[in-house]
Structure 1
């Protein structure tokens, strides 16, 4: 499976400092974990505004560290979630969690 992390982007961002890249990713992982938990709660509560806020934050944060697959799914979640599409939102959050777990495994390897 290919990595969800764009290591070339990170290398450009960090000037090739691998330790800094891992620090950035670790900070992302900590923040994203909280956002994903909040997203699950927001879906369970039907809080569309909160879903959009957390998805927007996750979209920016994942883009900043070169995880474009998560960025794309978060963008879709932010743009498409309404009270009528909460079921679809759950599926998108599951996809985000899967991508997140892949990132965590790669960062901690």
Structure 2
């Protein structure tokens, strides 16, 4: 038995709603998300190191939307905070926020691998 969706790294109700309950589509959507998000996180780290506020804001915005779309709400919330800080050109918590994003990313990926294992 699975814990409540709020406790899971991925909100399965959200994922099922987006994919109309099609498991194959859920797997594919998450594969695409994880591949893209990995690149976005790497780009965020580089942009933070270069204090490139525009890129940080853009990449954080992309992660905010894509993670919300697949049901990884906590990652979306942290990405929104990073986007806000980049917009304000404040990076005092940027590394910590990227670490949190990466942590939620890893938890979601591990959960998906276990949940969708055949």
- Count, aligned residues: 108
* TM-score after normalising by structure 2: 0.85
List 4+ stretches of structure 1 deviating above 2 A.
Answer: none
Distance 2:109 2:16 in 1: 18
Partner residue in 1 for 2:92: 87
Partner residue in 2 for 1:69: 74
Partner residue in 1 for 2:23: 18
* 1:59 and 2:64 aligned: yes
Give unpaired runs (5+ residues) of structure 1: none
Structure 1 residue 87 displacement after superposition: 3.0
Give unpaired runs (5+ residues) of structure 2: none
* 1:3 and 2:2 aligned: no
Partner residue in 2 for 1:31: 36
Q: Provide the alpha-carbon RMSD of the alignment.
A: 1.4
Distance 1:7 1:36 in 2: 23
Partner residue in 2 for 1:100: 105
**Mapped contact 1:26–1:107 kept (Cα < 8 A):** no
Q: Deviations over 1:53-82 (max 9, x none)?
A: 100111111111111111111111001224
